[in-house]
Structure 1
Amino acid sequence: MEIGVHIADVTHYVTPKSLMEKEAYDRATSVYLVDRTIPMLPERLSNGLCSLRPNEDKLTFSCVFEITDQAEVKDFWIGRTVIHSNRRFSYEEAQENMDAEAGEYAKDLLKINSLAKLLRSARFKKGAINFETVEVKFKLDETGTPVGLIIKERKDVHKLIEEFMLLANKTVATYIYNKNKGKSTFVYRVHDYPDLEKLATFASFATKFGHEIKFMDEKKVSNSLNKLMEEIVGKPEQNILEQLAIRSMAKAKYTTEPKQHFGLAFDHYTHFTSPIRRYPDMMVHRLLQHYLDGGKPPENQAWEEKCLHSSEREKRAADAERASIKYKQVEYMKLAEDKDYAGIVTGVTEWGVYVEISETKCEGMVKVQDLTDDYYDFDNKNMRLIGAKNKKMITLGDKVQVRVTRTDIDRRTIDLEFVSNDK
């Protein structure tokens, strides 16, 4: 079966030394805030010239695979193309046709989905880590104020697209690496083996929730984490443990060094598939075409500096996105003051108890000074509070009922109280 991954040829329109190039490099990434998107490129490009609309000729950079029914890639071709598609599906439309096993291109979608599942399974067998984080989206009114929440569900169609994007990215990186045994200057997306101390801290934290993890070697780390991710699905501690597991990992970055991607279990990996929203993908397109044209490797240092800049901008964007979410969480919970919620204790310190509200995934704090039924001592070793007289314990993983007492939008804080003093 032939499957093509076709990506908008952004670098055809954004030329080196142009003002658009300068601005794209400076931004290095689009930023996705809760109530707005700050794009890397102008809308005329992203939603116009580079939008792969059906029934129009579009300039693309393509990775075309000859793939067997067992999802083995027998051959591939990489190069610039012109495509003319005749149908564009929304995720919802494609999923509906797959679920019904009927409708336009249902047979093709089901076949491609079966291949995606095989590719996914093969990744996990090699040691890829399966982080299926719970994603919460806000419903906003016309003023941008959050008025509701939606738990975003990852369906087969999302995983289908993901697997073929991963395949294209891996194929491009491996192709360039093999072309000159890793000596060709290129932009790789690398992810180092996690720090053992951070893993030990995470394992200790997971134990507080009743989950045992053993980290022996690289493969065991992946297997243990995947087993844990399966165990916690649907449990109150799912969100907090998923987030902490991700934080215990090394940070992925861009570099010209052809190192592994630990989380994906790929020897070589890059970002080729999103040049509209990521500058490193534009760098990859340019270098890839340079080598396809028979060019010699350019000087490495200038590209490494661009990689460093892109990694820094990516971190800045992620920080802004997290701050935006926290802001909207506090804004949303302000509407919920004096309401009671079920929650789970996600952190215990000498000054307070952090509680994640199960319904909204928002985190707030019950201050120790507000625990009026007793004087509580902090047990640092076991991360818990113990009542001096009543010996009641507040510890990680406790299921609790809380009430929102106060929100502070300037400090981005949510104050809580336990609904009853026996927590």
Structure 2
Amino acid sequence: MLPEPLSTNLCSLIPGQPRPVISIFFTCDKEGKPLEKHEIKKTVIRSRQKLTYREAQDVLLNIGRNVSDSICKQIKNLFIIAKSRRIRRLGGAMYHVPIETDDDDFMETKEAHFLVEEFMILANHTIGTYLFRKFKNCVPLRIQQPPEPECVQQWLKSNEFIADLILKLQEVHPLPTIESERKLSVNNARTGRYNRVLMFQQHVWKSLLHAIGEKDLPTVMRILGCDEIHPFACLGLQEWYEYQENAEYKCSGDIQSKKDGSHFSLGMFPYIHFTSPIRRYVDIISHRLLHCALDEKKPCYSHEEISEMCHHINEVTRRAKAYQKKCRALNWGYKLRKESTVFHGFVKTVSEKEVTVVIPGHRNLPKESCTLQLNCLGSIKMPVFKEDKNDGRQILELQWKKRLYSHNGFAPITRQGEDKIYRVYPHIRAFVQQQNKLKQLQQVVIDEKNSQGKLRRLEKILFNGDLGHAEINLEEYMPACFRTETDVSSEVRKGTITLQSCDYSMTFNHGQVLALQMSAESVKGVLIPQIEMFDMTKNVRYCLLHVKDPIKYLEKYSTDSTKDYYHKPVDYIRTWKPLVEMEAATNAINIGTATINDVPVKFLSQRKENFHFEGHSWIREISRSTKFQ
């Protein structure tokens, strides 16, 4: 916020240079518990060394270079105190690992980040308490109202079996406004009977087993600690975020009670922003008030002035966050425009028009980027809805009739008769395990402090036969998987085509893992990420863009209007050929067409989108020797 001559020089703790500062002196034990009253003083600091997060992390890992022994010792002592305070403040939530951060280097330096974060929170709370006692009616508090009780109760009901297994929310009291004793904790998790199961992403589960086999505890902790890569925990956490009130600034003179001025997520009152005056104006306000308090002067701002500034800062902050959100989407859209990428999305809701998904690591995307439009999937019947008996959510079923072939004659082995409507296995990218297994794994993550002991206990739980073998998919306990096929085709293994069309259906339910290829489209001049293809099975894929706008993606729009009279044949061809091509592109989508998978192609140039394929198929009576552009 402040210009560079100030932020990088006069207001920066440059090594060897004296700088006037405000210091808070704490005397505490190794657990971070205060032994005597703290002191707030105006002091002068001469910094000995400036460290990056990476350098501080190296000190904590005993690989620090160019850092004196005395500084290393002080950093490690501070980390011991910070860790103890973090455990008391967050409980099991301290083991949560975020999937998206503002700092690309965060995962490699998270201990150093946590060290700074804990002392910043302590300083903000301490100064907030001091100022609130001195100037009760004119302190710019940082507040967050608790969510509406009705929303939380609905959330608890919908996420009955997963709410207590979300690491990010450990030790949270979700209903503080009605004095409820309910607390989210792994120890309170209901697991139900043996057949109460949860879905994991298949590749995530395999990575967990591999990490356990390699004795790689950091990777194990990242996998178990990242709620966002586990379907049900990710969706539960996403819903929780949607119910939360935005944090904002509010003048202490405008609050009616302690609850009205508390910060729900931090569980603190009073809390202010004080530690970053270089980049936040509200911190400068806090510093000015603190100088008045230390000098035994009247506050430099009135109640009305603080209220007006808080309102203005809130508005500016909202605009800045909205701008940042759009910038992130634009940046991701730019990357996807250069190269489409396949992501896994978790089904959030279903309706008559669409399936909405949550893409891990990208929860701030606009709604249109996370929506699978049903009218682009080409189903032949109206959607059918059923109710999930476990959580009361809607299950959507769609039915298709397609001609599906393969260049190499691929035909899946089916368990049903050839004249039946095949039900496609909906959880092909998931691995099902007992819910009680996840509960016990998380209890070890939170409770066991010894690294070797933690690995031994985690391995024992994973391969505990009473909880289902870790390498056996318990799909038989998922009703949606009963009597289903892993793939469908119009072909049979004998080599003769018995059906020109293949009838099949698939269900979409909460938490289902879908493979979605994403690209970006320009909307009003801005690149917006969008789903371009839904990969259902090896043999079934739906390109949404071709259905949405076949002319744009298969041909191009004509810009010449027709005439009553043409002087030359070439003029007639120039006008009508694009129109015929537009009609052909539209008919390719609207008229029933055949899909041939696994066709080998050879690109003629690295720079042009030209490719060539040759070959023939006597069985299918389709001869191919052509060139496409």
TM-score by structure 2 length?
A: 0.52
Which amino acid in 2 is paired with 1:319? A
Match of 1:110 among 67, 76, 79: 76
What is the Cα deviation at residue 121 of structure 1? 1.9
In 2, the alpha carbon distance for the partners of 1:201 and 1:411 equals 36
* Match runs of 1:43-54 below 5 Å: 43-54=4-15
Which amino acid in 2 is paired with 1:124? L
What is the Cα deviation at residue 243 of structure 1? 4.1
Specify the alignment match of 1:287 in structure 2: 289
Specify the alignment match of 2:249 in structure 1: 254
Please list every run of 5 or more consecutive structure 1 residues that lacks an aligned counterpart in the other structure.
1-39, 139-149
Specify the alignment match of 2:535 in structure 1: 419
Specify the alignment match of 1:178 in structure 2: 133
8 A contact 1:174–1:269 mirrored in 2: yes
Between the two proteins, the alignment pairs up a number of residues equal to 367
8 A contact 2:336–2:529 mirrored in 1: no
What is the Cα deviation at residue 186 of structure 1? 1.4
Specify the alignment match of 1:121 in structure 2: 87
What is the Cα deviation at residue 278 of structure 1? 1.0
In 1, the alpha carbon distance for the partners of 2:151 and 2:373 equals 27
**Distance verdict in 2 for CA 1:102–1:415, change over 3 Å:** closer
What is the Cα deviation at residue 332 of structure 1? 1.5
8 A contact 1:128–1:264 mirrored in 2: no
Specify the alignment match of 2:572 in structure 1: none
What is the Cα deviation at residue 333 of structure 1? 1.5
What is the Cα deviation at residue 86 of structure 1? 0.8
In 2, the alpha carbon distance for the partners of 1:221 and 1:250 equals 20
Matched, 1:187 2:198: no
Match of 1:395 among 502, 509, 517: 509
Identify which of structures 1 and 2 has the higher relative contact order when contacts are C-alpha pairs closer than 8 Å and 6+ apart.
Answer: 1
Percent identical among aligned pairs is 26
Which amino acid in 1 is paired with 2:396? L
What is the Cα deviation at residue 416 of structure 1? 2.9
- Residue deviations 1:53-84 (CA, integer Å, cap 9, x gap): 21112232222222222212223222332211
In 2, the alpha carbon distance for the partners of 1:227 and 1:243 equals 21
Matched, 1:167 2:118: no
In 1, the alpha carbon distance for the partners of 2:125 and 2:61 equals 29
Which amino acid in 2 is paired with 1:402? L
Please list every run of 5 or more consecutive structure 2 residues that lacks an aligned counterpart in the other structure.
165-172, 190-223, 256-260, 400-420, 422-503, 542-629
Specify the alignment match of 2:61 in structure 1: 99
**Distance verdict in 2 for CA 1:245–1:358, change over 3 Å:** closer
Specify the alignment match of 1:21 in structure 2: none
Which amino acid in 2 is paired with 1:371? L
TM-score by structure 1 length?
A: 0.75
- What secondary structure, in the 3-state scheme, does the structure 1 residue paired with 2:27 have? strand
Specify the alignment match of 2:328 in structure 1: 325
Which amino acid in 2 is paired with 1:261? H
8 A contact 2:174–2:184 mirrored in 1: no
* Match runs of 1:25-104 below 5 Å: 40-73=1-34, 74-100=36-62, 104=67
What is the Cα deviation at residue 193 of structure 1? 1.8
What is the Cα deviation at residue 267 of structure 1? 2.2
Matched, 1:157 2:126: no
What is the Cα deviation at residue 283 of structure 1? 0.7
- What secondary structure, in the 3-state scheme, does the structure 2 residue paired with 1:288 have? helix
* Match runs of 1:193-272 below 5 Å: 193-203=146-156, 206=159, 211-212=162-163, 215=174, 217=176, 223=184, 232=227, 234-236=229-231, 239-257=234-252, 259-272=261-274
* Match runs of 1:355-370 below 5 Å: 355-357=357-359, 364-370=370-376
**Distance verdict in 2 for CA 1:199–1:371, change over 3 Å:** same
- Residue deviations 1:335-360 (CA, integer Å, cap 9, x gap): 233x5443322443433223445587
- Residue deviations 1:101-139 (CA, integer Å, cap 9, x gap): 7663322222111100111122236x999975321569x
What is the Cα deviation at residue 212 of structure 1? 4.2
- Residue deviations 1:126-174 (CA, integer Å, cap 9, x gap): x999975321569xxxxxxxxxxx5842611111100000000000011
CA RMSD of aligned residues (A): 3.5
